[in-house]
Structure 1
Amino acid sequence: MPYTDAFKTQMVKRMVGPGAVSAAALARQVGVSQPTLSQWLREANRVAAMTPPPEEKKPTAPVGPKKWTPEEKLRVLAATQGLTGEELGALLRSEGLHEAQLKEWQQAAAGALSGASTEPLPAKERKRLAAAEKRVKELERELHRKERALAETAALLVLEKKLQAMGWDERHQEGEDDAADEKSEK
């Protein structure tokens, strides 16, 4: 009597692994001869020996502490506000945090909000900051100078327009100057 591959696979699974049943005991239970069951088991072992073992899945990133984003830290800090004892412990366990980490985050947040730096800047950073401040002052002076020049130019343009509106322009002035020169020559 021919048996399906699914049935054979099911019988082999019952003969191996946890709670395995011997071929003789399984033969009595299902009504298939013991030599047939043993042959299926040998074939399954032979096929398993010929197939290469599946490659173990290697983690893509090293397993280590979670990298917390600032948003996540802020969320946890807000959630822990006002919690004590068991409630705090339960939240820390669910987030995978230690109380020391939480305290560190609280101090960093308080320092950032107060505007006070928790540690002095290194010399390289101080020099860079001083150079940037000097550059800002130079740019502010240059901007102030250019604003004054622009204001002066705008005032001159306004004055010129007013003179033009009154009928004074360069040609009119030149004509008067020429007439005055002619009168003085006579």
Structure 2
Amino acid sequence: MNRLSVEEGISRGTLANWRAEARAKGKLLPEADANVEGWTSRDKLAAVIEAAALNETELGDYCRRRGIFPEQISLWREACAMANDWDRTASARIARETKDDRKRIQQLERELRRKEKALAEAAALLVLRKKVAAIWGPADGEDE
């Protein structure tokens, strides 16, 4: 945009306003110095829509003018097609993760119950040992 501003003698602000107005009307206007990674999702969708009705020759010409490859248009078209399926895919993934989480929670709860039982048993044995020591005295080899 800097080069265009200097070449045409139009301020950057005016060019930016014109670009914003054109984008608001749905025109495909990626940044001039931006590579394809700099394109917005809106620009990519507009490119897919514009290229949808083109034959192979027209598509090649369109891509050369825009500085992109036909393969990129194909990838963007697939991404657009899958965009509406994301919720179904996400729901399935979330359901699978939830099921895995439930299994893990059940496993941890079983392990916790087992350890609590073992701890209670150890505590009961210590209490009994103290009672035995109090009644009959310490066993041979034990400290008093």
- As a proportion of its length, which structure holds more helix? 2
If the length of structure 1 is used for normalisation, what is the TM-score?
0.28
Higher relative contact order (CA 8 A, sep 6+): 2
If the length of structure 2 is used for normalisation, what is the TM-score?
0.35
